[in-house]
Amino acid sequence: MRAEISFSAEGTALTAFRDALRQANVRCRHQVVKNGVFYAAVPPQQFCTVRALAERHGIALTVLKKRGLRFHLLPYRKRFGILPGLLLGALLLYWSSAYVRSIEIYGNETVSDAEVLTALESLGISRGTPIREIAFTASERRMRLAIGEIDWIAMRHVGGRLIVEMTENRAAPEMYDDHVPTNVTAAYDAQITSVSVLGGQAVCKRGDVVRKGDLLISGAVTDSRGTQRFYHGDGIVTGVYQADFEQEQPFVTELAVSGEAKTAQLLEVFGRRFSLSPGFSPPAGDFVYTEESHPLTLLGHTLPFTRIACQYTQRQTALTVWSEEEAVGLLRESAARWEQNFHSGDRILARSESISRSDLGISLKFHYVFEGVIGKTSEIFVKLS
Amino acid sequence: MNLPFSDDRIELCGNTDVFFDRCRRLLECSDMLVQLEIRGHSVAVWGRGLTASDYADGRLHVQGQIAAVEFDGGL
C-alpha cells in the first residue's frame, strides 16, 4: 500500500500554489478543483514542502486522509509489549513444532503402546526430543528389529506430534499334526463311561476300570502277519473319576493394604517437568507410584503443556483376623474357582466336604466325583526304519 | 500563431488515460476540464471525473472519462 496524504487547499492564490507545486517537483496525484477547492494527494515525505508552499501563498491546507502502513502502525508505536509478544509467539511456535510434543501410535493390536514407547525411547525418541535429530527411515528399520511383531511401520511428524503407524504380523495358525504316532492314556483312575475312537485301536471298553497311565487307545497296531504299524491314536474317552481339593485358611493373615496417599502436580513442557507442588516430598518406605496426564487445552486446541498428577500410595500390611464363617467362606470361594478353572467341562456327580479345625486355622477338604474326559494324548517315541 | 510542437509525446490510452511527457503549467483542473500548457500551447482535456497526477520531470497523467482533447482552444 503506497503511503499518501490527501489534502484540500483553499485560498485566492490557488493557481500560483499549483504552479509552485509543479516547480518544486512535488508529485501530486489525483488533482482536481471542485467549487474553488483544490484536492490532491502527495507522498508523506513531500507534505512538508506542500505545507511550506501553502504558507507562502496564503493557502489554507486541510489534511483529509492519511493512507499507508506507517499511519496504521503509528498509534501502536508506544506499545512496547508488541515486539516481545511477537518474538515470544514465534519462539513458542518454533518450539512446539521443533520438538516432539506427543507421540501417537496407530495400528497396534497385540503390541502395547507402552512397548512401542519403550522401544522408541531406546532409540532416543521420546517427548522433548528435537525433531531434526530423528532419523526417520533408520528409526523405522530399527523399530522393526526391536519389536518382532511389527510387519510395517511408518513414522512422520505433524508439527510437534510424532505419528507412528504400523501393521502387525499375522501369525499363521498352528498346524495340527495328525501324523505323529500317539497313544491315548488315562489321566485318572476311573471307570470308563464312553469311548469314541478317531484314530488307532481302542484297548478298553465302556464299563472297564482303568488306573492312571493305563493305555486307552493304542497308536501301535500289529496286524495278523505280525507287522507293527504306528498311527496317530486319537479319540475321546470319558469316565467317572474322583478328585480332591484341600486348602487351609489361617485365622490371622497379613494382607497388603494401601496406606497414606500423597499427590504432587507437575507441569510438563516439551518433555521437561517442572514441579507445581513446592516442598513436596514422597512418603517414606515402599510406595506405589501412579501418574495421570492431563493435556492443557485452549479453546478446544491442545497446548504443548501437560499437567501431570503424580500419586504416591504407601504400601502397608495389616493383620486381618477371620472368623470361622469367613474362613470357610473364603475356602469355598477357592474351591469354586478350582472347579471353574480345572473341571469346567466335567459333570459333578457328587461332592462332599469335611472341615477340620485347629488353633491356627481351618482346613477344608472337598471330595468330588466327576464325569468327564479322562484320556490324554502321549507321543510314542519310536525309531522308524 | 504558435508554431506546432512535435518533440513532446502525448499518449492516449483508450478514453480513460492521457499521459503528457512535459507539462509546464496546469492551468485548469476541474473534474470536467484539465487544461495545461506545453511549450506555449494550451492543451485542454474535456471529460467527466477527471483528475491530474504529477510525476517527475514535468510529466502529467490525466485520468477519467475523456471526451475530447483540444489544442490551443480548438477550431
Q: Are B20 and B34 in contact (CB under 8 A)?
A: no
Q: Which residues neighbour A371 within 8 Å (Cβ) at sequence distance 6 or greater?
A: A193, A238, A239, A240, A241, A346, A347, A349
Q: Whole domain around residue B24: which residue ranges?
A: 10-71
Average per-residue pLDDT in chain A?
A: 88
The answer as to whether B5 is a domain residue is: no
Question: What is the pLDDT at residue A385?
Answer: 59
The answer as to whether B2 is a domain residue is: no
Q: Do A27 and B54 touch (CB under 8 A)?
A: yes
3-state secondary structure of A129: coil
Is ipTM strictly over 0.90? no
B24-to-A10, A87, A315, B17, B37 alpha-carbon distances in Å: 22, 52, 101, 19, 6
Question: What is the pLDDT at residue A384?
Answer: 62
Residue closest to A380 by CA, chosen among A236, A199, A180, A211? A180
Question: What is the pLDDT at residue A125?
Answer: 92
| Residue B21: Cβ within 10 Å count | 14
Question: CA of B55: which chain A residue's CA is closest?
Answer: A27
Q: Are A29 and B54 in contact (CB under 8 A)?
A: yes
Residues of B in contact with A22 (CB under 8 A): 23-26, 54, 58
Q: Do A32 and B51 touch (CB under 8 A)?
A: yes
Beta sheet of A272-275, edge-to-edge order: A272-275, A252-269, A301-321, A287-298
Residue closest to B50 by CA, chosen among A34, A198, A199? A34
The answer as to whether B32 is a domain residue is: yes
Given a cut of 70, the residues of chain A with pLDDT beneath it are: 1, 270, 384-385
Kindly tell me the burial class for residue A75, based on how many C-beta atoms sit within 10 Å of its own C-beta (0-12, 13-18, 19 or more).
exposed
Query: How near does any CA of chain A get to the CA of B67, in Å?
Result: 17
Q: What is the CATH number of the domain that holds B31?
A: 2.60.40.2000
Q: Which of B29, B55, B56 sits opposite A32 (nearest CB)?
A: B29
| Residue A255: Cβ within 10 Å count | 9
Q: Are A119 and A140 in contact (CB under 8 A)?
A: no
Given a cut of 50, the residues of chain B with pLDDT beneath it are: none
Beta sheet of A215-218, edge-to-edge order: A201-202, A215-218, A182-186, A375-379
Q: Are A267 and A273 in contact (CB under 8 A)?
A: yes
The answer as to whether B1 is a domain residue is: no
Question: What is the pLDDT at residue A219?
Answer: 87
The answer as to whether B3 is a domain residue is: no
| Cα distance between residue A324 and residue A320, in whole Å | 13
Query: Measured between CB atoms, does B26 come within 8 Å of chain A?
Result: yes
Q: Are A193 and A239 in contact (CB under 8 A)?
A: yes
Q: Which three cell numbers stand for residue A319?
A: 493383620
3-state secondary structure of A54: helix
CA angle A114, A116, A117 (to 5 degrees): 65
| Cα distance between residue A174 and residue A181, in whole Å | 18
For chain A, which domains are there? 4-74 (3.30.70.600), 97-168 (3.10.20.310), 182-239 (no CATH), 253-320 (no CATH)
Q: Which residues neighbour A16 within 8 Å (Cβ) at sequence distance 6 or greater?
A: A57
- A vs B: CB pairs below 8 A: 46
Q: Transcribe A257-317 into DSSP letters.
A: EEEEEEEEEEEEETTEEEESSTT--PPSS-EEEEEEEEEEEETTEEEEEEEEEEEEEEEEE
H or E element at residue A106: strand A102-106
Residues 15-44 of A with CB under 8 A from B: 15, 18-19, 21-22, 25-34, 38
List pLDDT tens digits, range A119-171. 999 999 988 888 999 999 999 999 988 898 889 999 999 888 899 999 998 87
State the amino acid at position A359 in one-letter form. Answer: D
Counting the structural domains of chain B, the total is 1
Question: What is the pLDDT at residue B1?
Answer: 53
List pLDDT tens digits, range A56-96. 999 999 999 999 888 888 888 888 898 899 999 999 888 87
Residues of B in contact with A21 (CB under 8 A): 54
